[in-house]
Amino acid sequence: MTATSIERPFTVVSLLPRLLDTNGDAGNARVFAQRARWSGREARVVDVHTRADLPEHVDAVSIGSGTDAALLPARDALRTVLEDLRVWSNSGVPILAVGTGWELISWGIDLAGGSVIEGLGLVAGHAVPRTKRATDDIIVSSKFGRLIGFENHARDYVGAEASPLGRVLHGTGNADAPASGPQIEGLTMGEVFCTHLHGPVLARNPGLADHLLKAAFRRRGLVYSRGAVAESVDETARTARNQVALRLGQPTE
Enumerate the known binding-site residues for substrate: 133
Q: What is the DSSP letter of 251?
A: P
SS3 string of 71-82?
HHHHHHHHHCCH
Does a cis peptide bond (omega within 30 degrees of 0) precede residue 73? Answer: no
Give the C-alpha separation, 136 to 151, whole Å: 6
Give the C-alpha separation, 189 to 106, whole Å: 12
Q: Is 198 a catalytic residue?
A: yes
> Treating both helix axes as pointing N-terminal to C-terminal, what angle do 27-38 and 228-247 enclose, rounded to 10 degrees?
140
Are the C-beta atoms of residues 65 and 198 closer than 8 Å to each other? yes
Catalytic residue among 126, 196, 198, 211: 198
Alpha carbons within 13 A on the beta-carbon side of 126: 13
DSSP string, 101-147: HHHHTSSEEE-TTS-EEE---SSS-EEEEEEEEEEEEEEEEETTEEE
Are the C-beta atoms of residues 105 and 63 closer than 8 Å to each other? yes
Catalytic site positions: 198
